[in-house]
Amino acid sequence: MHDYVCWVNWALAILAKNYFYITGESYDGHYIHTSAARVHQGNKKMKKFVIGNGLTDPAIQYVAYANFALDMGIITQTEHDRINNVLPLCKIAAKLGGTDGTLSCISTYFACNTIFSYIISHAGDSNYYDVRKKCICSLCYDFSNLEKFLNQKFVRDALGVGDIEFVSCSTSVYQPMLVDWMRNLETGIPALLEDGINMLIYAGEYDLICNWICDSRWVHAMEWSGKKEFTSSHVPFEVNGFEVGLLTSYGPLSFLKIYPRLEKQFSNSPLRTRSHSKGMKMMKIGLGDPSGPLDQA
């Protein structure tokens, strides 16, 4: 512990004058901007934060699932309309859940996650991280080699984790998150934007589980001084002359919808864009029970 504290103090002394950047994906949509706010409050060195396919304002994001699923051909118009019949329940529950992260958030989660579970029950073997692909196992991707590697004794020893087993998706971590899941964490972002802290939100075009429509809606709905100008500003996002996304940007705020061909460009070439840049994706949301009131609606 003494060596660790000495290392931290040394690193802080060296890096304290540098600007600070925070990036994250998935459930980090809850925590990236809250971390950014704390850094900004502490030393004013916060420069930019980035969230990829994140869960930030669930009340808005869950409502958008049906639209994305219909656009992608995952559900029919009849099934879309059936989902819309239970949206008021989700909206009311989300309001009760508020921003406090209490037990009411768990009730809200089950009320709203019925929407996603219903869509998944009609999606067949579609990969909910990329609807163009098939889901090949419980998490849609095979992480067995990663698990084997990280659970080798010499790797555990190097990481200092003792006998703790690595798992790709831990229920011990997931279950406590339910109290926090449906919190609206968007509320702290406008103050950061007003202070000139740059934010980029990005989402892949074919990701279902936290799709670009979900993210776009909460970003566009957010109240801040540049909202009007932001919502009217759209330009192509280009890499080496190829249009690989659509960028909405004004002042410190940017939203990027990423087209799938950007993956190849990222692997081969540096980015050249007309404005802000960078991002890729991933997210995991508990699927819950696919049966429920929607099947009887």
* 227: amino acid identity, one letter: K
Nearest to 126 by CA among 137, 118, 117, 135: 135
pLDDT range class, residue 3, cuts 50, 70, 90: low
The string of DSSP letters for 35-96 reads HHHHHHHHHS-EEEEEEES--S-HHHHHHTHHHHHHHTTSS-HHHHHHHHTTHHHHHHHHHH
Flag whether pLDDT at 273 surpasses 90. no
Instruction: Show the tokens assigned to 247.
Output: 């960028």
Average pLDDT over residues 200-205: 93
List, for residues 246-255, the tens digit of each pLDDT value: 999 999 999 9
Neighbours of 233 (CB within 10 A): 17
The whole-angstrom separation of Cα 139 and Cα 284 is 8
Residue 94 reports pLDDT greater than 90 = no
> What does pTM read for this prediction?
0.79
- pLDDT, tens digit (0-9, with 9 covering 90-100), for 20-78: 888 888 888 888 888 888 888 887 788 889 999 988 888 889 989 999 999 999 999 99
- Helix crossing, 77-84 with 104-121: angle to 10°? 170
Mean pLDDT over each residue of the chain, to the nearest integer: 80
| Cα separation of the two ends of the chain | 58
Query: With bands split at pLDDT 50, 70 and 90, how would you rate the model's confidence at 279?
Result: very low
Q: Give the CA distances from residue 253 to residues 4, 72, 75, 195, 276, in Å, rounded to whole numbers and listed in that order.
A: 37, 28, 33, 12, 9
CA 60 to CA 43: how far, in whole Å? 32
Per-residue pLDDT tens for 117-158? 999 988 888 888 888 888 888 788 888 999 999 999 999 999
Identify the DSSP state of 212: H
> In this structure, what are the phi and psi dihedrals at residue 148, rounded to the nearest 5 degrees?
-60, -45
Positive or negative torsion for Cα 23, 25, 29, 35: negative
Q: What is the pLDDT of residue 137?
A: 81
Phi-psi region of 140 (alpha: psi -120 to 50; beta: other; left: phi over 0): left
Q: What percent of the chain has pLDDT over 70?
A: 81
Using alpha carbons only, give the angle 185, 205, 99 rounded to the nearest 5 degrees: 10
By CB atoms closer than 10 A (0-12, 13-18, 19+), residue 281 is buried
Q: Do 201 and 256 meet the contact criterion of CB atoms below 8 Å apart?
A: yes
Q: Is 235 helix (H, G, I), strand (E, B) or coil?
A: strand
Tokens of 201: 């939100």
Angle of CA points 245, 181, 31, to nearest 5°? 60
- How confident is the model at residue 287, as a pLDDT? 29
Confidence of residue 270 (pLDDT cuts 50, 70, 90): very low
